[in-house]
Amino acid sequence: MSEQRRALITGISGQDGSFLAEFLLEKGYEVFGLVRRTSISSLERLEGFEDQVTLLPGDLLDASSLMSVLEQAQPHEVYNLAAQSFVPTSWSEPVSTAEVTALGVTRLLEAVRHVCPEARFYQASTSEMFGQAPAPQTEQTPFHPRSPYGVAKVYAHWATVNQRESYDRFAVSGILFNHESERRGQEFVTRKISRAVARISLGLQDKLVLGNLEARRDWGFAGDYVRAMWLMLQQDEPEDLVIATGVTHSVEQFCERAFAEVNLDWRKHVETSSRFCRPAEVDQLVGDATRARELLGWQPELSFEDLVRRMVTWDLHRVRQIEEQSHTAAPDLSR
């Protein structure tokens, strides 16, 4: 009988980490997750399968913790999904973003090289690296990042390529375009919209304030994208790939679709404020994933319309649940 495959996921508590963990468990992997200490638990997204994964304490800021986690997990595959991933925060905290999102990757690559050099390595790169480069963007498109986050990810991308070229390691960079789900953080625009749509339709709020409505993104479903991450590590040769749907929509179009799900006119509820605009914007992202289709046989399964419906439906359910709990919960006088 062949040995059970072991995977280590950094960022397991995040949107992608949770989908990837579920996906790998279904494939029969033993799954380890690196988690950092937070003042309240950030493991909500692992609900339902938390007891099937082994969580190990560590932080991309702390090289010794990475060595220790790798020694315990002895993974065949390492998926580096951990990052400070919210673009606006990268302007307010550019140095800490670089520490985690850029240098953190070097710390992890070096730790893998010393502890388990045979492990295959996946780096979560991003379409933010393309920034203002003309669309559609492919593996050949030159990078022109427009945020400190994008700059940090370009460093991490090249650090990964360089490890591959220097040490003949299986290390790849997946250049993923925006992907969303009901597990998306509430500060990202799609989830901000789907949640507000739910609350507005249930009479809990009236307005939604956004920034630039004209920005265009190539939005896919996170569940489809973690499949591509795994496929990239199963190839005979390491290769960096663009993963995208090839279809782009504006923030305004996302609003229109999401409000239409609950039969509301988005124009009556959406306002804009410069508070949510960025010092430098990425106007349009559209990925060309031809190479991934050819090499991996990968293509997205959930359409834009189904993605929006899925998110709004989930938020309607969730907001109702929270409302019901807040009306029935007895006050906890023990604290």
Backbone angles phi, psi at 293, to 5 degrees: -65, -45
What x/- string results for residues 17 through 46 when contact with ligand NAP is judged by CB under 6 A? x----------------x-x-x---x----
User: Could you say whether residue 276 binds ligand GDD (CB under 6 A)?
Assistant: yes
| Identified binder of ligand NAP from the candidate list 67, 124, 229, 296, rule CB under 6 A | 124
Evaluate whether 83 touches 100 at the Cβ level (below 8 Å). yes
Non-local CB neighbours of 333 within 8 Å, separated by 6+ positions: none
- The residue from 195, 217, 227, 257 that contacts ligand GDD (CB under 6 A) is 217
Please indicate whether residue 328 is annotated as part of the active site: no
Site residues for ligand NAP, 144-203, by CB under 6 A, read: 176, 178-179, 185
Nearer CB in complex with ligand GDD: 119/285 = 285
Q: Which of 128, 180, 182, 261 is catalytic?
A: 128
The answer to the question of residue 138 lying near ligand GDD (CB under 6 A) is: no
Task: Please answer whether residues 68 and 62 qualify as being in contact, where contact means their C-beta atoms are separated by less than 8 angstroms.
Answer: no
284: Cβ contacts below 8 Å, ≥ 6 apart: 135, 215, 216, 248
Considering Cα of 114, then 115, then 118, then 120, what sign does the dihedral take?
A: negative
First to last CA, the chain: 53
By CB under 6 A, which span of 76-84, 107-115, 164-172, 266-274 interacts with ligand NAP? 76-84
Question: Cβ neighbours of residue 64 under 8 Å, at least 6 residues apart?
Answer: none
From the list 8-16, 71-79, 136-144, 315-323, the region that binds ligand NAP by CB under 6 A is 8-16
Amino acid at the residue 98: A
**116 vs 269: CA distance, rounded Å:** 53
Specify whether 225 is catalytic.
Answer: no
Amino acid identity for residue 239 in this structure: E
Q: How far apart are CA 295 and CA 176, in angstroms?
A: 16
Nearer to ligand NAP, 32 or 201 (CB): 32
Residue of the chain from 68, 205, 212, 253 that contacts ligand GDD (CB under 6 A)? 212
Nearer CB in complex with ligand NAP: 61/63: 61
Indicate which residue of 29, 79, 122, 149 is catalytic.
Answer: 149
Q: DSSP string covering 124-171, please? A: EEEGGGTTTSPSSB-TTSPP---SHHHHHHHHHHHHHHHHHHHH---E
The strand pair at 77-80 and 6-10 is best described as parallel
By CB under 6 A, name the one of 84, 160, 173, 248 that touches ligand NAP: 84
- What φ, ψ does residue 100 adopt, rounded to 5°? -85, -55
Residue 189: which of ligand GDD, ligand NAP, none does it interact with, CB under 5 to 8 A by kind? ligand GDD
Burial 107-145 (b: 16+ CB within 10 A, else e): bbbebbbebbeebbbbbbbbbbbbbebebbbbbebebeb
Compare residues 214 and 294 and give the one whose CB is closer to ligand GDD: 214
Among 278, 271, 151, which Cα is nearest to 215's?
278
Q: Does 49 help bind ligand GDD (rule: CB under 6 A)?
A: no
Q: Does 83 bind ligand NAP (CB under 6 A)?
A: yes
Residue 244 partner contact from ligand NAP, ligand GDD, none using kind-dependent CB cut-offs of 5 to 8 Å: none
The residues annotated with a catalytic role in the active site are 126, 128, 149
Positions that interact with ligand NAP (CB under 6 A): 10-11, 13-17, 34, 36, 38, 42, 59-61, 81-85, 100, 124, 126, 176, 178-179, 185
User: Which chain residues interact with ligand GDD by CB under 6 A?
Assistant: 85, 87, 126-128, 177-178, 187-190, 192, 210-212, 215, 217, 251, 276, 278, 281-282, 285
